[in-house]
Structure formats: structure tokens, C-alpha cells
């Protein structure tokens, strides 16, 4: 009787942990995405460089959409600052066009403590929804797969 109970408990724990792992793997970066942005955020890498920060934003272009290279891309801070990317990387195929975008921004410590929004194409995307300094750990670098950092 005890083995059967222990086996059931272990199977229940396995199912619960597998469900949690699947939920964290498949959840989106942000639940509501502006369709006018024509992209969705895949993740953000934050790297501390002394008292400033590099923020790399990885975007996936929506299926059947294109990124307008003529429109500016700006990172907006809660204080009203508009930051242009320090570096831009495009990825894709000749036939399908650009499928992935990476934008690199240089932020001061006051900027990273506030929510961040990316203005791209004709819409906006939430990059960071929380206030406060992100937890980077001893390596001073972290990759975030949700906008709550």
C-alpha cells in the first residue's frame, strides 16, 4: 500500500513539474502584442557595463508582415527619453525577407530602473513592464524571456 501511494505521489509531482516547465517554455514575452508593430519580442539580454547597461532586444517579425526600414526604431523610457539603437542586426532569407531583428541600446542606470517601451513600425512593444533594477546576478548579464524584469 505504501509503494502504491509513493508511486502515485511521484507521478503527480512529475506531471506537475512537466506542466510548469511547458508553461514557462511556451508562454509569450508579453501577453498583448500591438499588431501595428508587426513584430513580437522573443527576449532581451541585459548586460551591465560599469554603471551603464547594454540592452539587446530580439524580435521576430510576424508571419506575412515586413519591417519598414525607413521608420525609426526608438526605445522610450518612463522619463520621456527616446533612445536610438547603437546597433541593428537583421536576419532572414532572400525569399521570405527579414524574419528576425536585434536592436542594441545603451542605457544609463536611471533608464533601466523604469519601464521601457519600443516604438517600431506603427506600433509599440513593452520591453520592461516593472520598475526597479533587474536582478543580474554575479555575472552582470541576464537573458529575460518575459517583460517582467
Q: Is residue 123 part of a domain?
A: yes
Tens digits of per-residue pLDDT, 74-102? 999 999 999 999 999 999 888 878 999 99
- In angstroms, the CA 53 to CA 75 distance is 14
pTM of the model: 0.82
pLDDT above 90: residue 3: no
Domain containing 11 equals: 1-29
As for how many domains the chain has, the answer is 2
pLDDT (mean) for 106-113: 93
Question: What stretches of 1-147 show up as alpha helix (H) in DSSP?
Answer: 2-26, 109-112
Q: Please check whether residues 90 and 23 belong to one and the same domain.
A: no
Q: Please check whether residues 21 and 83 belong to one and the same domain.
A: no
Band the pLDDT of 32: cuts 50, 70, 90.
Answer: confident
Q: Please check whether residues 120 and 78 belong to one and the same domain.
A: yes
Tens digits of per-residue pLDDT, 9-29? 899 999 999 888 877 667 778
Q: Please check whether residues 66 and 6 belong to one and the same domain.
A: no
Cell triple for 60: 521576430
Give me the CATH number covering residue 72. 2.60.40
Q: Is residue 137 part of a domain?
A: yes
Amino acid at each position: 500500500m505504501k509503494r502504491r501511494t509513493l508511486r502515485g505521489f511521484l507521478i503527480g509531482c512529475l506531471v506537475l513539474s512537466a506542466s510548469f516547465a511547458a508553461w514557462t517554455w511556451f508562454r509569450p514575452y508579453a501577453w498583448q502584442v500591438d499588431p501595428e508593430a508587426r513584430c513580437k519580442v522573443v527576449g532581451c539580454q541585459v548586460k551591465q557595463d560599469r554603471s551603464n547597461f547594454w540592452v539587446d532586444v530580439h524580435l521576430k517579425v510576424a508571419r506575412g508582415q515586413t519591417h519598414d526600414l525607413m521608420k525609426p526604431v526608438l526605445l522610450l523610457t518612463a522619463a520621456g527619453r527616446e533612445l536610438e539603437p547603437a546597433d541593428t542586426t537583421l536576419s532572414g532569407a532572400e525569399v521570405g525577407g527579414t524574419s528576425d531583428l536585434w536592436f542594441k541600446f545603451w542605457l544609463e542606470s536611471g533608464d533601466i530602473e523604469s519601464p521601457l517601451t519600443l516604438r517600431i513600425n506603427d506600433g509599440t512593444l513593452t520591453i520592461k513592464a516593472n520598475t526597479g533594477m533587474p536582478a543580474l546576478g554575479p555575472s552582470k548579464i541576464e537573458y529575460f524571456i518575459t517583460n517582467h524584469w
